[in-house]
Structure 1
Amino acid sequence: MTDQGFSTKAIHAGWDPEARTGAVNVPIYASSTFAQDGVGGMRDGFEYARTGNPTRRVLEENMAAIENGTYGRGFSSGMAATDAILRATLRPGDHLVIPNDAYGGTYRLIDKVFSQWGIEYSVAPVNDVAAIARAIKPNTKLVWIETPTNPLLNVGDIAATAQIAHDAGAKLVVDNTFATPYLQQPLDLGADIVVHSTTKYLGGHSDVVGGALVTNDSQIDADIAFLQNGAGAVPGPFDAYLTMRGIKTLAVRMERHCDNAEKLVEVLSAHPKVTEVLYPGLESHPGHAAAAKQMRRFGGMISVRIAGGQIAAQEFCARTKVFTLAESLGGIESLIEHPGAMTHASTAGSLLEVPADLVRLSVGIEDIDDLVADVEQALG
């Protein structure tokens, strides 16, 4: 399906109407085990649901297709996917580079867990390829970037970073959760592995938790598949079904997310209580040129810094009525949060600590006039 458009792949890749019943949607195969035709005689490769499930297989093939990849693997959460790729590619004594504003959960896993097993890491600004190059050591095996980053919305040049990583003999992983495959396809730009929290835009309805990894490298996929089965952090069939249902409408949802975000950026940029708007679509954004080069549009995430510091930022979060004060992002409903006290609390006191006056908005697909009115009354 590589020659088909994004939405066509999102709707059809991995599944044809079922031969026996004609079911247009993939069934939820709620079976923990599968009958075998004699000892070792698996039907279509299925034996036990941790190893493989028909609903999950369709999701994995679909994810690979929309990322223009060859191999896809589903996980029970984005953090489970993150854990799997770190374990598949790193050994004690190895080193990796991460952004200096990485997602708090990624940082926590590396700093608190993998460091205990002899894994070293350095941090570098994702938007500074020279700094990333300086952070690489002889034992660097992995360069990990998010673009745009969570929550400061910095943008990394994927192609340039891939070149730096490959020149050093390292692999490049790109967390594509904020951008989604509709807006950005890192494998086409040289990345080795793409990771997603499918909980976010791919599921899109705040009703499922999941993760995914996509690659074109058969050995990496084999190593991931071994861990996927051996550790067992797999999505259930209903989780896989819900995620696929979300993917089918990803393109149309992302267009509305972007439309609404762009309008809100205009409003927030002109508001006297907002000291800075962080959004790659702004020409003043330091990553605007890179984003324009590698993204279809600039996304539905906005971060702002609020005059008055932490107290004023938290009061802004508490006063919204349409925006819901909650963690997570990427759903059809608009969410607002204070990263320093919520999603990124684990970075406090570290090189990745986020500003206390920062507020992150996940702009939903509600009527834009209602979102503008809500933001204005909450700031006012």
Structure 2
Amino acid sequence: MPDDMMDRAARLLHARQARLAKGEPVSLPLEMTSVYHLAGDPAGHKQYGRFDNATWEATEELLGLLEDAACVAFPSGMAAIAASLLAFAQSGDRILLPSDGYYTPRVLADRFLTRLGLQFDLRPTASFLDGGFDGYRIVFAETPSNPGLDICDLQAVSRVAKAAGAIVVADNTTMTPFGQRPLDLGADIVVSADTKAANGHSDALFGHVTTRDDAYLAALREWRKLSGSIPGPFEAWQVHRGLETLEVRFARMCDNAEMLAPRLRNHKAVSALRYPGLADDPSHNLARAQMDRFGFLIGLTLKDADAAEAFIERCSLLLPATSFGGLHSSAERRSRWGDDVAPGFVRLSVGCEPPGPLWAAIEDTLDTL
């Protein structure tokens, strides 16, 4: 990890300390209120729970420190994605989305954005640069793509798309700022589902948007205030807690994934495997250039849907779940949600278990298929 990120990780743990008076709690308190005392002129004071909350502002501070940018918190990753589109697009605009990324933004665009007069196109992540970006208001990239783990050259995409007049939005959920920093690669806006690794404990929904552009920041904050897409203070408190251990958790998860990937590829039950950290992965060279770690997600393909389901159900150290990024290793068969993957494709989210027992449990299960 670069020295500046190590410095941010250290400062994150002491961010609250700088403002503490003697006798105040070290841990972040919960501000559970919807109204504030507002005698007289309200200007310059907290006014209402839809506008202000000290707990979510403290969480925004930590996320902003990691991103080196201003942060706007939202109640989920999809709320953050929706804000990154709806705060800027208007009727007649065209949006570009990845055809192989997280499927819900495509459903949102098809079922709701088109009703507002917006148009959208789809393009595979691996060939995201092909065709250029003329005519697009927003270019939305997800790299690595979820679940296929293809990668696009985010620096090149940002340069070409911005030259064409587009706003570049990058979904960095799978990597976190400890693995990849899209703003440093030229993106205008970064979105993330902090439900995943940032929180890390699989007990809260949360999302955020970051940008270094003051006009974009103002638009995002106005969208949140007027749409009511605000995070709850308790969820913000949970994510604040999770962020304090993100650096060590992310390192362990990536270490475990790098250990598992070559062993899985060589197992007779695995017919195909995607992991950017493998030297022969199609995305490896690009991953080395723009990512600090190779991530904690692995895509493995077993012979069919039954084999995939048996693997997930039988392995004692795998949690069958549709999310990822938690302390527990988890897995799911993604074609059941309609992703364009083989029926036996399994998205494996590698957690923080000790590596020896984790591999033993996975290997023993694969041996039974």
TM range (shorter): over 0.9
2:216 match: secondary structure: helix
CA 1:251–1:132 in 2, change beyond 3 Å: closer, same or farther? farther
Shift of 1:232: 1.2
- Give the distance between the partners of 1:132 and 1:355, measured in 2 at CA: 27
- What is the alpha-carbon distance in structure 1 between the residues aligned to residue 180 and residue 131 of structure 2? 21
Query: Distance between the aligned counterparts of 1:111 and 1:297, measured in 2?
Result: 34
Which amino acid in structure 2 is aligned with residue 217 of structure 1?
D
Q: Which amino acid aligns with 2:278?
A: L
Q: Give the residue type in structure 2 aligned to 1:38.
A: G
Change (3 A) 1:120 1:257: same
- Contact conserved, 2:331 with 2:348, CA < 8 A, in 1? yes
Take 2:364 and 2:219, find their aligned partners in 1: how far apart are those partners? 51
Give the deviation of 1:129 after TM superposition: 4.4
Q: Distance in 1 between matches of 2:14 and 2:144?
A: 28
Consecutive unaligned residues of structure 2, counting only runs of 5 or more, are none
Taking a change above 3 Å as real, the CA distance of residues 292 and 3 of structure 1, as seen in their structure-2 partners, is: closer
Provide Cα deviations, 1:246-294, integer angstroms capped at 9, x if missing partner. 1111111111001111111121011111111110101111111111111
Which of 10, 13, 16 is residue 8 of structure 1 equivalent to? 10
Aligned-residue CA RMSD (Å): 1.7
Is this contact kept in 2: 1:269–1:276, CA < 8 A? yes
Query: Which stretch shifts more, 355-364 or 311-320?
Result: 311-320
Classify 1:148/1:206 alpha carbon distance in 2 versus 1 (closer, same or farther; 3 Å).
Answer: same
- Who is 1:336 aligned against? 331
Q: Distance in 2 between matches of 1:298 and 1:4?
A: 17
Pick aligned residue for 1:264 from 257, 260, 266:
260
1:161-210 CA-partner distances (Å, limit 9, x unpaired): 10111111001111111000111111111010000101000001111110
* 2:213 corresponding residue in structure 1: 217
- What amino acid maps onto 2:359 in structure 1? V
Secondary structure at 2:161's aligned position in 1? helix
Q: 1:223 to 1:15 in 2, by over 3 A?
A: farther
Distance (whole Å) between structure 1 residues aligned to residue 205 and residue 232 of structure 2: 10
Residue equivalent to 2:199: 203
**What are the ranges of 5 or more consecutive residues in structure 1 without an aligned counterpart?**
none
**1:17 positional shift:** 4.3
* Aligned pairs, number: 364
Change over 3 Å in CA distance of 1:337–1:258 after alignment to 2: same
Give the Cα–Cα distance (whole angstroms) in 1 for the partners of residues 137 and 32 of structure 2.
39
Alignment of 1:115-264 (within 5 A): 115-131=114-130, 133=132, 136-138=133-135, 140-264=136-260
Q: Does structure 2 retain, via aligned residues, the 8 Å contact 1:142–1:173? A: yes
2:81 maps to which residue?
Answer: 82
Larger mean CA deviation between 245-254 and 103-112 belongs to: 103-112
Partner amino acid, structure 1, of 2:40: G
1:11 and 1:248 in contact (8 A); partners too: yes
Q: What is the CA-CA distance between 1:318 and the residue it aligns to?
A: 2.0
CA contact 1:141–1:170 (8 Å) conserved in 2: yes
**Could you report, residue by residue, the CA deviation over 1:44-98 in whole angstroms, capped at 9, with x for unpaired residues?**
xx111111101111111221110111x2111110011111111011111111111
- Aligned partner of 2:48 in structure 1 is 48
The one-letter code of the counterpart of 2:347 is R
* CA gap 1:148/1:275 in 2 versus in 1, 3 angstroms: same
Which residue pairs with 1:67 in the alignment? 67
TM-score of the pair, normalised by structure 1: 0.91
| Contact 2:129–2:157 (CA under 8 A) maintained in structure 1 | no
- Against the structure 1 CA distance between its residues 132 and 274, is the aligned structure 2 distance closer, same or farther, given a 3 Å change threshold? farther
C-alpha displacement of 1:137: 4.1
In the alignment, is residue 288 of structure 1 matched against residue 275 of structure 2? no
User: Is the 8 Å Cα contact of residues 87 and 219 (structure 2) preserved in structure 1?
Assistant: yes
**Does residue 301 in structure 1 map to residue 297 in structure 2?**
yes
Instruction: Decide whether the 8 Å contact of 2:77 with 2:206 is kept in 1.
Output: yes
Cα deviation, 1:90-144, whole Å, max 9, x if unaligned, reads: 11111111112110222211222212222211111222243251xx342x11111
Are 2:141 and 2:169, in contact at CA under 8 Å, matched by a contact in 1? Answer: yes
Distance of 2:5 and 2:246 partners within structure 1: 19
**Contact kept in structure 1, 2:98 and 2:124, CA below 8 Å:** yes
The letter of the residue matching 1:52 is D
Looking at structure 2, the residues matched to 74 and 217 of structure 1 have their Cα atoms a distance apart, in angstroms, of 16
Q: Which amino acid in the other structure matches residue 202 of structure 1?
A: A
User: 1:95 matched to which residue of 2?
Assistant: 94
Alignment partner for residue 342 of structure 2, among 345, 352, 355?
355
Tell me the distance in 2 between the aligned counterparts of 1:299 and 1:196: 15
Q: Give SS of 1:96's match.
A: strand
1:325 alignment counterpart: 320
Return closer, same or farther for 1:192/1:177 CA change in 2, 3 Å cut-off: same
Question: Counterpart of 1:273 in 2: which secondary structure?
Answer: coil
Contact 2:179 / 2:295 at 8 angstroms: preserved in 1? Answer: yes
Q: Structure 1 stretch 239-248 or stretch 17-26: which is displaced more?
A: 17-26
Q: Which amino acid aligns with 1:58?
A: A
Q: Could you say if the C-alpha distance between residues 332 and 158 of structure 1 is closer, same or farther in structure 2, counting changes exceeding 3 Å?
A: same
